[in-house]
Amino acid sequence: MREIIANSFVEIFSQEPLLAFAPGRINLIGEHTDYQEGFVFPAAVAQGIHFAIQKNNSKSARIHSLDFNEDFVFDVKSFSPKKGHWANYIMGMVSQFKQAGYEVAGFDMVFGGNIPVGSGLSSSAALSVGVGTAISGLFDFNIPKKSLALYAQKSEQLFEGLNCGIMDPYASAFGKADHALLLDCRSNSHEEVPISLGPYCLLLVNTKVKHKLADSAYNKRRSACEESVEILSHTFPDIKTLRDISETDLPKVKSILSIELFSKAKHVILEDVRVHQAGESLRRGELVKFGKLMKASHESLSKDYEVSCKELDFLAEESWKKSYVLGSRMMGGGFGGCTINLLENEYIPEFKESIAKSYFDAFNIEPEFIEVKPSDGARIVK
């Protein structure tokens, strides 16, 4: 893949490029906790986007997307968002760099990769972080990874109008082979946790659905959490977000909030607890325990937080029935996308065959299987 990108750069622009790479990400556990300044547990994966870039001594950025087979040119001194277009993620990053005082001059770029778009591996974060890494390397800006992650988040918020969290670009920037990142979404700092899966592996199953409800439900859940914090702050004056409520406070919280708000708050509060328990389990190599936490996370997201859907529930429930599966849960915001599954390597073919058949029988859709492995984060390759 890297060679294809480098070769097509030479073919189009007739000069030698600098090469960069940025990966997609998974999230082991910790869903809908980020916007309450809680904890998440992502890892970068091997799938990602490759970039070939070089200065062109002009004030234009000339870009070729290999995957979309499309060119885009913009003036680095003056440009505006083009909603829904891939070039937005690039212009958004250039805009962030400029705001931070970095002088971005004209450049040529070819890029392409192997992250399935929109299936929950965060191809958009890989694109943003990769562009940032490539430009920072090209112009010797030496921008720290955390700044790249924050620029990528801001870029997507401003240029795509998406109220996204820090997790995706952070994981793409900081990923480390055979490790996951226990990320604190308040301090934006992380602990690396070694992941040793032995005879087990992580496999995503893509439902191939994306229900329309997703965006409005996401905003509603965010508001519900904020409303709970507002109500609870009369009794717990020191809290800023639900992250500040401990598990032992739950009975009190239950007596204060409506049933509806309580079930939402409970998910966020206990999901934070599960992230820490998962970190501890993986440090100790207790995969069975980790698998149980995955299941508990799914049940909470489905029943209490109500962001699952029948396809995700079906895949998780089918997987739980199998003795060689240690854990399965929906991954990402919900209402579609993938489940993440922890299962024994040697049963992968059997799992795929059985799940593909039962899922097709139930929904008339061929699911997609994506093998993932905790891998290194964004980097300059050469």
Q: Which is nearer to ligand ADP, 68 or 360 (CB)?
A: 68
Is 168 annotated in the active site?
yes
Instruction: Find the angle CA(244)-CA(249)-CA(252) to the nearest 5 degrees.
Output: 125
Give the integer Cα–Cα distance in Å for 181 and 65: 30
Partner touching 360 among ligand ADP, Mg ion, none, CB below 5 to 8 Å by kind: none
Taking CA atoms, 23 is separated from 20, 110, 131, 169, in Å, by 10, 16, 12, 9
Q: Which stretch binds Mg ion (CB under 5 A): 88-96, 124-132, 187-195, 304-312?
A: 124-132
Q: Which is nearer to Mg ion, 92 or 291 (CB)?
A: 92
Would you say how long the chain is, in residues?
382
Q: In which residue are the tokens 């992968």 written?
A: 348
For the chain, the 3-state helix, strand and coil shares in percent, each to the nearest 5, are 45, 25, 30
> What minimum distance in Å lies between the beta carbon of 67 and ligand ADP?
4
Please give the single-letter amino acid code of residue 115.
Answer: I
Catalytic residue among 108, 168, 244, 313: 168
Enter the tokens of residue 162. 């998406």
- The rounded radius of gyration (Å) of the Cα atoms in the chain is 21
Enter the tokens of residue 175. 């990923």
Under a CB-based contact definition with an 8 Å cutoff, are residues 278 and 272 in contact? no
Give the integer Cα–Cα distance in Å for 321 and 341: 12
DSSP class of 255: H
The residue whose Cβ lies closest to Mg ion is 124
**Residue 281, interface with Mg ion (CB under 5 A)?**
no
Partner touching 21 among ligand ADP, Mg ion, none, CB below 5 to 8 Å by kind: none
Q: Which is nearer to Mg ion, 17 or 165 (CB)?
A: 165
Q: Which is nearer to ligand ADP, 158 or 239 (CB)?
A: 158
> What minimum distance in Å lies between the beta carbon of 128 and Mg ion?
9
Q: Which is nearer to ligand ADP, 67 or 306 (CB)?
A: 67
**Residue 277, interface with Mg ion (CB under 5 A)?**
no
**Residue 124, interface with Mg ion (CB under 5 A)?**
yes
Where along the sequence are the contacts to ligand ADP (CB under 6 A)?
49, 65, 67-68, 86, 89, 112-113, 117-118, 120-124, 127
Partner touching 86 among ligand ADP, Mg ion, none, CB below 5 to 8 Å by kind: ligand ADP
Partner touching 68 among ligand ADP, Mg ion, none, CB below 5 to 8 Å by kind: ligand ADP
State residue 209 phi and psi, 5-degree precision.
-120, 155
**Residue 33, interface with Mg ion (CB under 5 A)?**
no
Q: Are strands 18-27 and 379-380 parallel, antiparallel or unpaired?
A: antiparallel
In what order do the strands lie in the sheet containing 70-75?
Answer: 70-75, 60-65, 107-113, 42-55, 18-27, 379-380
Partner touching 280 among ligand ADP, Mg ion, none, CB below 5 to 8 Å by kind: none
Residues 103-122 that bind Mg ion (CB under 5 A): 122
Which spans of this chain sit near Mg ion (rule: CB under 5 A)? 122, 124
For the annotated catalytic residues, the residue numbers are: 168
